[in-house]
Structure 1
Amino acid sequence: MIEALRTFILLYGGLFAITNPIGAVPVFMSVTRDLSAKGRREIAKKTALTATITLIVFALVGQWIFKFFGSSVDAFAIAGGILLFRMGMEMLSGKLSSVKIDEESEEAVTLEEVAVIPLAIPLISGPGAITTVMLYMAREPAPLVVVVILSIGLTIWAILSSDNRVSQKLGRVGIKVMIRMMGLILTSMAVQMVINGIKGAFEI
């Protein structure tokens, strides 16, 4: 029991560091700044659910998915890096689009899109997280890996749902500064993601 708990903590800590839900908070706050508290909670729930399902699916059948589509984790890393780079540049310039709501029918579609891309994929459940869960599955019992992923999903939901308290403490100016700082970090992460993908693809 103690050994299983120790393994759980190690796996959870590693996956938490890679998914980095805390780092996703500035992006989350930026794209949802025009939403009500209820709308932000809805996106937080959908983002956590999408990231959890994505990681579980890739943990269980990730290798077959990549083989079926003739792709690889390295190609996923390059594509995800390009997407994040574009987002990071928008954050640096302060032009990252926020969610706009005009009608209830449009709200559901918009929330779904934002929760899935870019928040859940590739910002949280990116190539690093996908590779990690696939490696976990190769050397640890499947039920334990699934429990770790579910725990990460709950953590993501809890952190993103608390963004309102963060915004109140930072204030409007503080949020803008944090978003631009995160934009710089995000662009560097994106470049590194592309570099890693190229290295892996060409076995450099």
Structure 2
Amino acid sequence: MLWYLKYFVLLYGGLFAITNPIGAVPVFLGVTHDLGREERREIARKTALTVVVTLVLFALVGEWIFEFFGSSVNAFAIAGGVLLFKMAMEMLSGSISTVKISREETEEFGGEAVTLEEVAIIPLAIPLISGPGAITTVMLYMARSTDIPGKATVIASILAIGVTVWLVLCSSGRIQRRLGRVGIKAMTRMMGLILTSMAVQMMINGIKGAFGL
């Protein structure tokens, strides 16, 4: 039981660094700047739900994706490590990773021509929060979990991230007032540092497994 608790904390911490919901606060406020409190809470709820559904779906079908494309867990670990490392380098500069979202996407969905559901799903949930890095991570950890409790721990960490995303987005106004843009950039850099170590370790594990080291 203690091992699974540690595993949960490890997974949750890693997913928190990758999804970086605090770093998404400025974008969330930007695309919802003309909406009321209740509408913002509704978007936050739908965004969190979309994040959970997306990550759980990829976590569950990840093994079949490996088999279909003839890829291995080790090859995926190396490729995923490279992707996470790129994200981490951009986060260390204090910016939102371009692997997640582009400036054009942010501007396009900042207007009034889209519905609340569209804003919640794209660009907030996908690809801003549950982007390629988060999808890669849950697929990899699910593939490496060989027993039911281990796989359940991965799902539990995704659910916990969904709750965290909802809480952060619902409190986005207060978070920005307290941290300010400088504080959010500092938090993003901290998450980038954690993500860098995760990416390097992921590549090391993949190389060791591929070459039987």
TM-score (norm 1): 0.69
2:193 aligned residue:
188
Evaluate the alpha carbon distance shift between residue 190 and residue 66 of structure 1 in structure 2; reply closer, same or farther with a 3 A threshold.
farther
Following TM superposition, the consecutive aligned residue runs of length 4 or more in structure 1 with deviations greater than 6 angstroms are none
List alignment gaps of at least 5 residues for structure 1: none
Q: What SS does the aligned partner of 2:111 have?
A: coil
List alignment gaps of at least 5 residues for structure 2: 33-39, 97-101
Given candidates 138, 141, 147, the residue that maps to 1:132 is: 141
1:156 aligned residue:
161
Evaluate the alpha carbon distance shift between residue 172 and residue 126 of structure 1 in structure 2; reply closer, same or farther with a 3 A threshold.
farther
Amino acid of the structure 2 residue aligned with 1:24 = N
Matches within 5 A, 1:170-185: 170-172=175-177, 174-185=179-190
Cα deviation digits, residues 125-176 of structure 1 (max 9, x gap): 443x44332222x2x23xx344333322321221111125544544525142
Aligned length: 191
CA contact (8 A) 1:77 1:197 kept: yes
CA contact (8 A) 1:48 1:157 kept: yes
Once the two structures are overlaid, the 10-residue window that deviates more, 40-49 or 68-77, is: 68-77
Evaluate the alpha carbon distance shift between residue 152 and residue 101 of structure 1 in structure 2; reply closer, same or farther with a 3 A threshold.
farther
Identity %: 12
TM-score (norm 2): 0.66
1:67 aligned residue:
70
Amino acid of the structure 2 residue aligned with 1:20 = F
Q: What SS does the aligned partner of 1:100 have?
A: coil
Evaluate the alpha carbon distance shift between residue 91 and residue 172 of structure 1 in structure 2; reply closer, same or farther with a 3 A threshold.
farther
1:37 aligned residue:
41
Evaluate the alpha carbon distance shift between residue 130 and residue 33 of structure 1 in structure 2; reply closer, same or farther with a 3 A threshold.
same
Q: What SS does the aligned partner of 1:162 have?
A: helix
